[in-house]
Amino acid sequence: MSSLANKVVLISGASSGIGEALAWELARLGCHLILWARREDILKNITNNLSKEFPEQKFVFSKCDVTQTEALPTLLTQDLQKLNKALDIVIVNAGVGGNTSGWASDFEITKKIFLTNLVGATALVEACLPLFIKQGYGHVVGISSIASVRGLPQNSAYCGSKAGFSTYLESLRLDLLTQGITVTAIHPGFIATPMTEDNGTMLFLMSAERAAKLISKAIIKKKARYSFPLPMAFAEWFLRVMPHGLFDFALGLLRKRIQVFREKR
């Protein structure tokens, strides 16, 4: 029996991609699930299928926009009441991508990315924290990105939002070390999901199902940070220590390749 059996897990952004794959993987490991996203019809379908496949476990869903931050604590209380259980793990996964080029900026895109990936993400963490602190246990899992490590070309908002989220999680982890609460930052490389389907060539692309298995193992091991796949974890480390001059040169070349790719489409 998995150590996650009978745990209650809330997943935001469970209607597609990594979040949906995590729902299936965690259900296989015996978890009860609360699934959140904006597309209610899709969540209903996923929940029905999970209930058929795993009749012993409980699954609930709610339509939720994480940018509506004031609504999150009430929604959480309502869903926990439906399950009549305490929350063990929150997986803060809901996120949006989007290109933001410095020479043609569009603040509406930048705002949406920050509101979802940083404001919405931290609001969900902080909706759960009072419960975790009161009960003396809990696990916060944030789906950040390898893109959090440096500012990549045409991705100022995405990289900025993920850098903010990872740094937030790290600080939180130190604060909560003595409270019985675990904090894990997940840094995936390229995962095949609706978010990346128009990306063109992606190095070491991994399926969402495989990513969900690896993320579940990192949750079981209560890792502080988990970057994957391995070659991208190495790239992350290298990017982190790369001097600015070398970074600007290497990423300048990458930016030119991206431009050529976009012009060809």
H-type helices in 63-206, by residue range?
72-83, 107-114, 121-135, 156-176
Q: What are 143's strand-pairing partners?
A: 186
Shortest Å, Cβ 57 to ligand NAP: 21
DSSP code of residue 179: G
Shortest Å, Cβ 22 to ligand NAP: 9
Token look-up 């794959």 returns: 21
Nearer to ligand NAP, 16 or 110 (CB): 16
DSSP code of residue 27: H
Shortest Å, Cβ 117 to ligand NAP: 6
Is residue 51 a contact partner of residue 75, using CB atoms and an 8 Å limit? no
Nearer to ligand NAP, 47 or 93 (CB): 93
Q: What are 225's strand-pairing partners?
A: 185
Instruction: Map residue 65 onto helix, strand or coil.
Output: coil
Q: Which residues bind ligand NAP (CB under 6 A)?
A: 12-19, 37-39, 64-67, 93-96, 116, 120, 143, 145, 188, 190-191, 193-196
Nearer to ligand NAP, 87 or 121 (CB): 121
Instruction: Map residue 265 onto helix, strand or coil.
Output: coil
Q: Among the options 137, 158, 168, 226, which is catalytic?
A: 158
Nearer to ligand NAP, 39 or 248 (CB): 39
Residue 137 a catalytic site member: no
Nearer to ligand NAP, 194 or 249 (CB): 194
Shortest Å, Cβ 196 to ligand NAP: 4
H-type helices in 58-151, by residue range?
72-83, 107-114, 121-135
| Distance (Å, whole) CA 37 – CA 23 | 12
**CA 188 to chain CA mean position, Å:** 9
| Distance (Å, whole) CA 84 – CA 81 | 5
In 3D, which of 32, 31, 2, 35 has the Cα closest to residue 16?
A: 35
Shortest Å, Cβ 5 to ligand NAP: 25
Rg of the Cα atoms in the chain: 18
- Mind telling me the catalytic residues? 158
